[in-house]
Structure formats: C-alpha cells, structure tokens
Amino acid sequence: MSLKILKNVKNPKVLLVTPLLTGHEIERDLKIKISRNDIPFDWIQYEGIFNTAMNTDLGLKEYLNTTKKEPKYFMKLDRDIIPGRHMIDKLSDTLDNASNIVAYSYCGFSYKGDLNADFPITPFNPEKLLQSNYISSMSLFKMSAIKEIGLVTDEKYKRLLDWCLLIKLLSKGYIGQPCYNTSFIAISQKDDISAGSQDDYKTKYLRVYEDFIKPLFGSFV
C-alpha cells in the first residue's frame, strides 16, 4: 500500500484522490485533461489491496495527516475517466454558490467502450436517490461534510459504496447540486462491467436497504 503525490501546490482548494488496485495505472488522457483546470488542486493516488472506497479513505487520511493541508473540496477521481474541459473548475463554482445544505456538486456522464450509455444530468431528488443511485461517483464534495460523516468503506456494501455515502449524507440533511455545464466520459471495459452477478447485486442492495434506506422511512418516502 502506498501514497503518491502527483500534484502539490501551496494552497489547494481541491484534493483529488485516485484509488488504484495493485498493478493499475492512471490513464494518460486523464493526466493530460485534468491539468486543464484553473483552480489550485492537489492530486494523489493511493494504491492498495482494498476496495476503491477503502483505498480512497486511506489515501485521504494519510494526505491530511502528513501534509497538514485541508482543501475546501474533495473528489474521488477514477483512473480511467476523460473529464470535460474545466470540469473541476465548474463543479467548484457550483459549490461556491450553493447553500449550506449542499454537500456536493455532480454532473452528467457517458460510458464509452464495451458498454455505451448516456446518463444526462437531472435535478436532485431525494426520493429518486433512495430508489437507486442516479448520481455519479465523480462528484465534488465539501471536505467538511466528508470529515463529518466519513466515507463508507465496508466490504459488505461493495459495488454500492458510493450510493451508501450519498444516502448517509442525505440522512444528515445534506443534498447535492447539479452542475449543468460539464460532464465526463467513463471508459468501460468488460472486467468492470461484469464485476459481480445479479444475485450478488441483490444481496448488496438488500443490505443497503436495511442499513441506510429503511431508517429514513417517513422522512423522504
């Protein structure tokens, strides 16, 4: 397990954390296009044997402890996406102008490769979020909100950990804010698409339902 600092500035407003499974590397297109943002940001990668959420959490904590910096915003940045021009700038602008109950900004995206599909941006809807996760994991979060509730890393929810985080934020009164003027492309490969069986998904879904959704009955559903 190891932390590597890819970009280091004096006063970063954003921290990007790329979790890597052992042996994986960041795509060249991402390295080129993420640099096309004006906002000052730090970028780290954390390579380890755990799931991506745990690797993200370990990288985030080690960064905060060792650098003593605390950027205002945070994003888990997957290794194989192609961000739109100024995507981080635009997501940050959305958060800068959002109310206190907004914990993150999100955008639309498309899958390209072995799976091709478009997921256009839609307004935030708590009832819809409790039915399924329609919000991209490539969202920009307020660091204060992440530190308050913590990332969800438990292996028992694997494949649905990003959804768990958004529901956990919702349970604390936080919502998301759509950003309509940016998007990204996620490169899909067969290994990623077939990450588990349908039965496995149902098992994980029932765990999320019992532990995260059911306690909110009466609040949003």
218 Cα distance to chain centroid: 27
The answer to whether 165 touches 176, Cβ cutoff 8 Å, is no
Summarised one tens digit per residue, pLDDT across range 15-42 is 999 999 988 999 999 999 999 999 999 9
Q: Considering the domain boundaries, does residue 157 fall inside one? A: yes
**Residue 194 buriedness (CB in 10 A; 0-12 / 13-18 / 19+):** exposed
**Per-residue pLDDT at 148 exceeds 80:** yes
**Per-residue pLDDT at 194 exceeds 90:** no
Q: Considering the domain boundaries, does residue 180 fall inside one? A: yes
CATH of the domain at 61: 3.90.550.10
Q: Which residues partner with 48 through β-bridges?
A: 21
Instruction: Report which of residues 194 and 107 the model is more confident about.
Output: 107
What's the one-letter identity of residue 53?
A
* Containing structural domain, residue 141: 2-216
Summarised one tens digit per residue, pLDDT across range 83-123 is 999 999 999 999 999 999 999 999 999 999 888 999 999 99
Q: Considering the domain boundaries, does residue 221 fall inside one? A: no
The string over 157-185, giving b where at least 16 C-beta atoms fall within 10 Å of a residue's C-beta and e elsewhere, is: bbebbbbbbbbbbbeeebbbbebeebbbb
Number of domains observed in the structure of the chain = 1
Q: Are strands 175-188 and 81-83 parallel, antiparallel or unpaired?
A: antiparallel
The structure's pTM equals 0.94
pLDDT confidence tier of residue 196, bands split at 50, 70 and 90? low
